[in-house]
Amino acid sequence: MTDRPKTPLLDRVHLPADMKGLSDVQLRRLADELRAETIATVASTGGHLGAGLGVVEITVALHAVFDAPRDKIIWDVSHQCYPHKILTGRRDRIRTLRMKDGLSGFTKRSESSYDPFGAAHSSTSISAALGFATARDLGGDPGDAIAVIGDGALSAGMAYEAMNNAGHLKKRLIVILNDNEMSIAPPVGAMSSYLSRLYAEGPFQDLKAAAKGAVSFLPPPFREGAKRAKDMLKHMTVGGTLFEELGFSYVGPIDGHDMDQLLAVLRTVKDRATGPILIHAITKKGKGFGPAEGAADRGHARSKFDVLTGEQQKAKSNAPSYTSVFAEALITQASKDDKIVAVTAAMPDGTGLDKFMARYASRCFDVGIAEQHAVTFCAGLAAGGMKPFCALYSTFLQRGYDQVVHDVAIQRLPVRFAIDRAGLVGADGATHAGSFDVAFLANLPGFVVMAAADEAELVRMVATAAAHDTGPIAFRFPRGEGVGVEIPVDAQPLEIGRGRMIRDGKRVAILSFGTRLQEVERACEALGAKGITPTIADARFAKPLDRDMILKLAADHEALITIEEGAIGGFGSHVAQLLAEEGVFDTGLKFRSMVLPDTFIDQSSPTDMYATAGLNASDIETKVLEVLGVGVIGKRA
């Protein structure tokens, strides 16, 4: 391919195969264009910005040297995959990122053969890559397996489980440690300090032999830059690192933005690697976009923004976010009780614990991306006499489930689970939906499980959790803003297992668990115009259930409908179990349970996702009409 400076290279590179004839100079130019395209894309779509900007050169170098999709490039978390998507046949749809029917914000097997493994939760890449490498050696899919994992993701146990196994299996496996000295927040932990020391401690041992080889084995089109590569390779380290002790060859640290270094190292590794090898690349999160580089989170995630100034579009809302209401309520409780401590797994901003930390630094712990540890750490804190609040997103709590069962529930330890991002979250899609926590917590003996219907209820539930000392307790609340209700100043603990009546009506009772209550009220307004006035109740508790209230609702109405922002097996199932056990169905009660459907719902706005789920006001209205046998049902089967 001849270099024509006026034509953007990116317009000629639709797939990695189109990069194969490019010179190293052209590859550098391609990286610059890719960075500009990534910035322009996220400016128009919003999404994860900083991580992608940090791996632009790594992305170009990987696709130039390796042969995807035959070689499997596995991005950890995969929030950094936008440049990869642009280079792998998806540039024409890149401005649909994270939108309904658009590209996912993460890698997804069903989206492209260049995404060999889907991700969005962290620290899975080395395990998956080792799986591919092992399958290959057993006669499965051929090709190299390359995991690209961040320094933040390296705080999770899974990454070590994978390295431990890889060091033992000794399969050819390539891991690129993308070390930008950032997680979402500044990284924490001893491993992070260790990586910083590796980075800072040079000069390293010579790798002269490999350097020599680096020049000689390069095919003619790639010889450019080889001299520099040779010089650079002299300064890399071999031996003595933790990774070497685990059975990996360690190469680095290298400058992950220097294309010459990257190309030389990757070509050498591609040519010579026999067992597991880890390439330590130092990068900058947000690289090349001033407003991201200069931001505290290095541009981790952004709403749509102005490319020139970096200024982001602001959400229009007068109500505070549930997260901030939780944080303030926890601070209030902590000011009255010095046994209260709080734990986050690498999400201080996302969970609001950054505010708590600013106030009570010694009582707040960021344990890194380590949800399993967070749960058991809280169990230990509780056993030691503290009152731990374990603040996790619903979707990430999934990772700590055995710890919830084995370390917390069986020992009846009073760990308080503050479960943020409950229900459908929007643009992050199915991987981040908080769908399952009610189902997997409410079936555990002795657990108290609550859902807040609005921000005032959330404050009451924080007070309830603080006061509950006899066993585990959880409360869930959604992503985004509250409804603008008045927040109680001196919130009192709720009576455990007591729901509340919202309004009395006739014929049908709707029993809501969580923030669908607003949709229920909207539906009932519309039904009122049709002469139907349902009773509305807020269950507050999925466990223990308010048996008296539920049995009375069942006795006083011809139909009972439950609704929740969770999957089958949650609140509605517990109500059904109660009604069945009490013989209520034998008396002819009509019962419906509105839950998330048995499918993973792709990204869209939360409202649209709830429409897909059939849980919006119009769906509730339709359900009431259907159960009462009234009106025409045109909307949904």
Ligand X SMILES: CC(=O)[C@@H](O)[C@H](O)COP(=O)(O)O
Ligand Y SMILES: Cc1ncc(C[n+]2csc(CCOP(=O)(O)OP(=O)(O)O)c2C)c(N)n1
Q: Which residues contribute to the annotated binding site?
A: 79, 120-122, 151-153, 180, 289, 371
**Which residue stretch of 37-45, 179-187, 396-404, 462-470 sits at the interface with Mg ion (rule: CB under 5 A)?**
179-187
Find out whether 545 and 553 touch, Cβ atoms under 8 Å. Answer: no
- Distance in Å, CB of 157 to ligand Y, minimum: 10
CB atoms within 10 A of CB 246: 17
Query: Which CB atom, from 264 or from 279, has the smaller least distance to ligand Y?
Result: 279
Position among 27, 49, 51, 579 found at the interface with ligand Y (CB under 6 A): 51
Contact status: 155 vs Mg ion (CB under 5 A): no
Of residues 387-446, those binding ligand Y (CB under 6 A)? 396, 399
Q: For the sheet containing 541-543, what is the strand order?
A: 364-366, 340-344, 387-393, 416-420, 473-476, 448-451, 541-543
Position among 152, 350, 388, 423 found at the interface with ligand X (CB under 6 A): 350
Contact status: 479 vs ligand X (CB under 6 A): yes
Q: Please measure the distance between the N-terminal and C-terminal CA atoms of the chain and give it in whole angstroms.
A: 56
Active site residue 371: yes
Find out whether 296 and 283 touch, Cβ atoms under 8 Å. Answer: no
Binding mask 115-154 for Mg ion (x = CB under 5 A): -----------------------------------xxx--
Binding mask 5-44 for ligand Y (x = CB under 6 A): ----------------------------------------
Phi/psi region, residue 421 (left: phi>0; alpha: psi -120 to 50; beta: rest), is left
Strands, DSSP E only, in 67-172? Answer: 72-75, 145-150
Query: Which CB atom, from 77 or from 509, has the smaller least distance to ligand Y?
Result: 77
Q: Any alpha helices (H) in 234-369, and if so which ranges? A: 242-245, 259-272, 290-293, 322-336, 353-359
Identify the CA nearest to 56 among candidates 26, 17, 86, 12.
86
Of residues 425-454, those binding ligand X (CB under 6 A)? 425, 428
Position among 35, 63, 72, 79 found at the interface with ligand Y (CB under 6 A): 79
Q: Which does residue 301 touch among ligand Y, Mg ion, ligand X, none (CB within 5 to 8 A, set by kind)?
A: ligand X
Binding residues for thiamine diphosphate: 79, 120-122, 152-153, 180, 289, 371
Query: Which CB atom, from 267 or from 302, has the smaller least distance to ligand Y?
Result: 302
Identify the CA nearest to 518 among candidates 501, 545, 536, 530.
536
CB atoms within 10 A of CB 309: 9
Strand bridging mode 473-476 / 416-420: parallel
Radius of gyration of the chain (CA): 27
Q: Which of 29, 285, 298, 623 is catalytic?
A: 285
Find out whether 252 and 205 touch, Cβ atoms under 8 Å. Answer: no
Contact status: 301 vs ligand X (CB under 6 A): yes
Query: Which CB atom, from 258 or from 371, has the smaller least distance to ligand X?
Result: 371
CB atoms within 10 A of CB 144: 22
β-sheet bridge partners, residue 561: 510, 592
**Which residue stretch of 5-13, 342-350, 400-408, 493-501 sits at the interface with ligand Y (rule: CB under 6 A)?**
342-350
| Residue listed under structure tokens 């169905």 | 585
Position among 171, 421, 460, 623 found at the interface with ligand X (CB under 6 A): 421
**Which residue stretch of 120-128, 180-188, 452-460, 572-580 sits at the interface with Mg ion (rule: CB under 5 A)?**
180-188
d(CA 270, CA 377): 41
Contact status: 182 vs Mg ion (CB under 5 A): yes
Total residues binding ligand Y (CB under 6 A): 23
The alpha carbon of 272 is separated from its chain's Cα centroid by a whole number of angstroms, namely: 36
Q: Which of 29, 298, 387, 399 is catalytic?
A: 399
Of residues 155-184, those binding ligand Y (CB under 6 A)? 180, 182-184
Contact status: 375 vs ligand Y (CB under 6 A): no
Position among 63, 108, 121, 171 found at the interface with ligand Y (CB under 6 A): 121
Identify the CA nearest to 477 among candidates 326, 318, 317, 355.
326
Q: Which does residue 421 touch among ligand X, ligand Y, Mg ion, none (CB within 5 to 8 A, set by kind)?
A: ligand X
d(CA 491, CA 457): 9
Relative orientation angle of helices 24-45 and 56-65, to the nearest 10 degrees: 130
- For residues 227, 210, 165, 241, the Cα torsion angle rounded to the nearest 10 degrees is -80
Strand bridging mode 340-344 / 364-366: parallel
Contact status: 108 vs ligand X (CB under 6 A): no
| CA dist 231 → 118, 159, 200, 496 (Å) | 38, 32, 19, 69
What's the 3-state SS for 12-71? CCCCHHHHCCCCHHHHHHHHHHHHHHHHHHHHHHCEECHHHHHCHHHHHHHHHHCCCCCC
- Distance in Å, CB of 8 to ligand Y, minimum: 26
Query: Which CB atom, from 204 or from 396, has the smaller least distance to ligand Y?
Result: 396
Binding residues for Mg(2+): 151, 180
DSSP secondary-structure letter at 495? P
Q: Which residues contact 6 (CB under 8 A, 6 or more apart)?
A: none
Query: Which CB atom, from 45 or from 80, has the smaller least distance to ligand Y?
Result: 80
Active site residue 399: yes
Contact status: 355 vs ligand X (CB under 6 A): no
Q: Which residues contact 337 (CB under 8 A, 6 or more apart)?
A: 387, 466
Query: Which CB atom, from 260 or from 428, has the smaller least distance to ligand X?
Result: 428
Binding mask 261-300 for ligand Y (x = CB under 6 A): ------------------------x---------------
Contact status: 59 vs ligand Y (CB under 6 A): no
Fill in the amino acid letter for 151: D
| Continuous segment of H or E residues that includes residue 134 | helix 125-137
- Distance in Å, CB of 626 to ligand Y, minimum: 39
Contact status: 77 vs ligand X (CB under 6 A): yes
Position among 59, 80, 104, 180 found at the interface with Mg ion (CB under 5 A): 180
Q: Which does residue 355 touch among ligand Y, Mg ion, ligand X, none (CB within 5 to 8 A, set by kind)?
A: none
Binding mask 161-200 for ligand X (x = CB under 6 A): -----------------------x----------------
Active site residue 227: no
**Which residue stretch of 29-37, 75-83, 305-313, 587-595 sits at the interface with ligand Y (rule: CB under 6 A)?**
75-83
d(CA 102, CA 44): 14
Which residues are designated catalytic? 285, 371, 399
Which residues contribute to the site for Mg ion (CB under 5 A)?
150-152, 180, 182
Which residues contribute to the site for ligand X (CB under 6 A)?
77, 79, 184, 301, 350, 421, 425, 428, 479
Which residues contribute to the site for ligand Y (CB under 6 A)?
51, 54, 77, 79-80, 121-122, 150-153, 180, 182-184, 285, 345-347, 369, 371, 396, 399
